[in-house]
Amino acid sequence: MSVDIQLAPVIHFEPGVSTPKPSRSGNLAAGALRAGSLVAFVAILLVFSLTAPYFLSVGNIGNVLGQSAISGVLAIGLTIVLIAGGSNVVTGGIDLSLAANMGLSAAVYATAAQLGYGDATAVAAALLTGLLIGAVNAIAVVGAGIVPLLATLAVMNIVAGLELVLTQNTVIPASTPLLTALSSSGPLSIPALAYVLLVFTLIAAAIVQYTPAGLRLYAVGEFPDAARAAGLPVRRLVAGAFIASGLCGGFAGILSVSNLSGSTTGSGEMLLPVVVTALLGSVFSRRLVPTVIGTLLSTLFVGFLVNGFQLLNISSVLVSGVQGLLILLVVSATTLLRRQEA
């Protein structure tokens, strides 16, 4: 299921053109880092499966997938913004309004359902909510030129407030055929949400990793001058990324309603874990860039970690610590490797 991740070994150039290739060692280092992360991923799975027999059962894996669906969709949305905004989180791409977006979209869906509207209308309303939030971010960043960190921070406040207004800070229960379907189990008695996550990832990966538009997003994020020189509509692409991220927020909102049988408050809690997950995802790509599949792997990594801790009766409070340590380890490793190269 490698997408941009080509496992082909680094082939050496034919003789003929040969100057020192300074980044060769850097590439090895990057490869080592990526291999190391994958090994760590597998090793943790292995340890859990040896100590908790149930861990690697189909049922449990399905559970983890299902439980990771919401954060996975959000993290993939953020990944798109990271790709188009570049790796500098302060001046580049970040969408702090994503988690609040999910909360409001969920509330909109649940309210619509409660008011007796059908699933189609409720879904459309939730997605439209997400889309609008994304559009506001896009206008603020591309139109008004506000730094994404500040623009999406302000939008986050507005959206979180609107959610409170709509829900009066209460749970809005909802029950629709769609929600029943989403919270049921699919083939192999794996939760439907697991399938939703996989299909969503495939679609997102197809668009981001396999279409010209996706390729252009990378160019815009990593080297805007090169994108401009190639005649790409840089502003439009950045705007598109924020709108796509908004849509993901709307979609995650619908999923969260099914998961909790209603809209609940406190969606903001998901923001920073999602940011960490999306940032960690780039370790799983050959080029050390954010990718949809990399983000999925990173989401599952966290999911398995939580799940394994539960099975082993280890307090899950360690999860955020492990996440924090991981991000520091990964980033220190890359930084130190890069410094050695220089």
Partner 1 sequence: MTLQTSAIEPSVPRAIIGVVVDNALVLALVTVFAIFSFATPTFLTIANLQSILVNNFTLLAIAAIAMTFAVSVGGIDLSVGTAIDFASFAFVSLVLAGQPVVVAALAGLGAGAAVGAFNAVLISGIGISPFLATLGTLFIGRSIQQLLTNGGNPVYLPPSGVPEAFRFLGRGAIGGIPVPLIIAAIIIVAATVILTRARFGRVALAIGIQPSVVRYSGIAARAHVAVAFILAGLIAAVAGLILSATVTVYIPSSGSAFLLNAIGATFIGTTLSRLGRPNIPGTVLGVLLLGIVANGLLLTGLNFYWQQVGTGLLIFAVLALSFITRRKA
Partner 2 sequence: MSATSPDETGDAIHLDGIVKRFDGALALNRASLRVRRGTVHGLVGQNGAGKSTLIKLLAGLHQPDEGRIEIDGQAYDKLTPHRVEELGIHFIHQDRLLVPTFTVGEALFLGREPRIAGTPFLDRRLMQRRASEILDDYFGVKLPSSALISELSTAEKQIVQITRALLDQPKVLVFDEPTAALVRREADILFRLIRRLRDEGVTVIYISHYLNEIEELCDTVTVLRNGEDVATLPFGETSAAAIARLMVARDIADLYPKRSVTPGKDILTLDRLSAHGKYQDISLTLRRGEVLGLTGLLGSGAKELIRTLFGLESATSGQITIDGKPARSVNPAQAVDRHLALVPEDRRGNGVALDLSVTENITLSSLKRFTRLGFLDFTSERREADDLIRRLEIKTSGRNALVRTLSGGNQQKVAIAKWLSRHSEIYLLDEPTVGVDIGSKVEIYNLIGDLAARGAGIIVLSSDLQELIGITDRILVLFRGSIIREFASSQTSLDDVLAASTGSIEVLRHVG
The footprint of partner 1 (CB under 8 A) covers 88-90, 96, 140, 144-147, 149-151, 153-162, 164-165, 168-169, 272, 275-276, 279, 315, 317-325, 327-328, 331-332, 335-336, 339
Q: By C-beta, is 96 or 237 nearer to partner 2?
A: 237
CB of 228 to partner 2, least distance (A): 8
Exposure string of 68-86, with b = 16+ CB inside 10 Å and e = fewer, is: bbbbbbbbbbbbbbbbbbb
155 binds, among partner 1, partner 2, none (CB under 5 to 8 A by kind): partner 1
Which one among 141, 196, 218, 322 touches partner 2, defined by CB under 8 A? Answer: 218
C-alpha pair distances (Å), 154 with each of 138, 147, 157, 187: 13, 11, 5, 43
Long-range contact pairs involving 7-16 (C-beta distance under 8 Å, separation at least 24): 7/286
Q: Based on the number of CB atoms within 10 Å of its own CB, is 162 exposed (0-12), middle (13-18) or buried (19 or more)?
A: middle
Q: By C-beta, is 12 or 115 nearer to partner 2?
A: 12
- Interface region with partner 2, contact rule CB under 8 A, candidates 18-26, 169-177, 193-201, 307-315: 18-26
Q: Which residues pair with 263 in a beta bridge?
A: 172
276 binds, among partner 2, partner 1, none (CB under 5 to 8 A by kind): partner 1
Instruction: Report the SS3 class of residue 52.
Output: coil
- What the block records as the tokens of 88 is 């500098």
Instruction: List, in sequence order, the alpha helices (H) in 86-191.
Output: 98-114, 119-138, 148-167, 177-183
Q: Nearest 5 degrees, angle CA 125-CA 127-CA 132?
A: 90
36 binds, among partner 1, partner 2, none (CB under 5 to 8 A by kind): none
What residues numbered 271-290 form the site for partner 2, per CB under 8 A? Answer: 287-289
Q: By C-beta, is 20 or 177 nearer to partner 2?
A: 20
- Interface residues with partner 2 (CB under 8 A) are 6, 8, 10-11, 13-14, 16-21, 23-24, 26-27, 206, 210-212, 214-216, 218-219, 222-223, 225-227, 229-232, 287-289
